[in-house]
Structure 1
Amino acid sequence: MAEARSHGISDPHATLIEAEALMRKQAWEEVAALGLRLPTPPDESWLAVMDVVAFALGQLRQWTVAIALLEHAYGLEATWRRASSLAYLYYDGALASQAPRGPKPDMSKEALRKGFRRWIAEALRHDPDSIKDIYRLGIFEAQVEACHDKPALRAFLRVIDLFHALSEEEKARRGDYRKVCSKALYAGARSALRLKQLGLARKLSFACIREDKEANHVEPVHKLQMAARVCMATGEFDHAERAARLALDAPGPPRRDYLFGLLSDISLLRSDPEAACSWIEKHVPEHRRASYLWRKLGDGRAARGQLKEACQAWESALRQDRCGRHLTLVRLGRAYLDLGALGKAEDAFRKAAHFRVSRFMKEDREALEGLEKVLALRGKKEELPRIAERLAKCGGQGQPASDDDELGVA
């Protein structure tokens, strides 16, 4: 940063007044440019300016510079607000690093993870009951740390309890806390569902619809699809279908193909493979079908006895699949086994087991069990002890509650 006197300005108070006026206009680039007025290094008299400039840099997704500036400010004066802001910058960068589009932080995922862990702990040391910090910790566990749903659910339930403990006056005054609580209800329902705590998932999902009815801090389409997923898991198929149908026309992002996949799942659970196939074939054209929709279509075709057509759908899924290949390959392995194509079945099960370990660092019990069966049928007994050893290591690990749970569909 250039010396302040090189600009003929050395008054932090005047700079702060200018920055705050620009903040009200959301002129982030102009606010960030005021950072050139900071002396090197800035002293305590510039703390308020550093806070404002760091916020603007964060809005511009210039995470590295914002973090460096705010860490310097924290070293001069350690406050909850600065620790919380630093945790947020690392949190925002971690989420951006996972997004398919948009700017990416110039930091490794491990650096982002460690930075968030450090500063969220510091923020919660200052204020253990910070609703927003606890919520961000829950989202980090659920989304960045690949479905760490037990700690995530604890965080979301804590947020909900803290909000409900506020006085009515405080709730009315802090609309931002109400928004965070609504989002915690939704995220908590998702984590509870993945943990198969169905009663809790139902309670949280329905509370989200009820408490967020007017404000819609969570998009109605998302609230309804979550209710549909929960009701599907509890066996309330009529309620599940109604919620999914309502979601099709509910306000929210225009993307709706995943809802046809959900309706297909519901139909399949109702032993109606014709409807399961129809939801996808009639409403999602081939060029728009994501890999998970091809996989669901294959499931429907297999259920109505069209095994070769199911294999064609699963092969189509493999052509564009990056995350769920093991799920498709296990299906293909089973189909080839039923068709007597033992070589193809062995290849599919091997690829499924390898992919899940390399992508998710977990053994795939279903792939290993299928491979064990095929090897026995093909007389390749020398490999069976090693497969049995890998199966034993699976322990209680199990499989995800559903494909969508592991892949984060919708």
Structure 2
Amino acid sequence: MGILLKNISTLLTLQGAREKHGRHIVEEDLSISHKQSILIEKDKIAWIGNKLPKEFAKKNHKEFDMKGMTVLPGFVECHTHLIFAGDRAAEFEMRNQGVSYQEIAAKGGGILSTMKHTRGSSLNDLVKQGQKRVNHFISQGVTTVEVKSGYALNLKDELKVLQAVQKLEGARTVATFLGAHALPPEFSTYESYLDFLSEKVLPEVKKKKLARRVDVFIEKGFFPKEASEKYLRRAQELGFDVLIHADQMTLSGGADTAIKLGALSGDHLLQITDKEIKALAKSEVTCVMLPSADLYTRTKYPPAKELIEAGARVALATDFNPGTSPTQDLNLVGLLARLEMKMSLPQVLAAYTVGAAYALNLQNEVGSLEVGKSADLVCTPQDWRTLFYSVGEASEKQVFIRGKKAFDPLK
């Protein structure tokens, strides 16, 4: 039995944005129509239109009256560090008083502080905390969540974190191995740690099928460009997709490396210049913008407007983590994108759907509402023009994931 969603007032399929591969987005690319219905069969979209065709009308369908709601694709949260233990509220205060991120890290804080708590937590505790965070994302209309490891930094506990990701329920989850997040105390050089990850950890992650993506933090004071490139090439040899935390605090070559290796995405990109902007626009690398992290770290924002005008594909995400972006608020991210990065509302909507789907290599499954794609939908009583406008509002969204209702504020 299928599901028929009837009486949709306004439907945004974003088919136009998908057909343009998430580039040069304008309002027309939202593919807006009115008085529509959607038929879902076997967790896929089977039909979209005004009048149900005869071949479908003969079947029995469970009907949902959408009562004039606006419907659009489920949001894709393509960059999070969702599995961790502890918090870093004290460090937030330190940064607010002028201590730099690098100085905190050099004193054993930052990522290493979270590492101690995460290593000491059980798998069940990590899953329990992670599930609450996933549920909060779902309530905001997120149907796909990327989750990185990188807060354990050893073989046993990195695998534990990735196992926790597999146990999360509700949303579609995409695991990313970010063992190259910081230098653990067991190693004296970044190069020797990357060799360990290449020789010992990546093969285990591959063997156990715990992730299909590998990320690295290329930054001065963290992982150097040359050694990181060698590491990522090894990951590609093993069959992993690769992506890069790139050019966040300094122009460290992350964007150049992402383009050179054909990475799925370059994330952050605060320090890039016109040279990198032009090169990214000509590439297939998705530029993932994380403005809530820029707000928390009190840095400049990435040149999203310039990237978009040059023809680059842009995505948005929270970068939810305990240190530099301890927020899951999609409205905050979208609002900052509009206010600080001068993105238009259609560009924000496309970045949180089509663009983010490309960042996860899921553009053929999610990100737009089209026949044959996953039935991941957000249904809201709001006019679409009021989205990403007000921070802190209570969610009134109904959320469908793979054709099943995953969240209803009235229940």
Q: Normalising by structure 2, report the TM-score.
A: 0.27
Structure in which a larger fraction of residues adopt strand: 2
More helix by share: 1
Larger Rg: 1
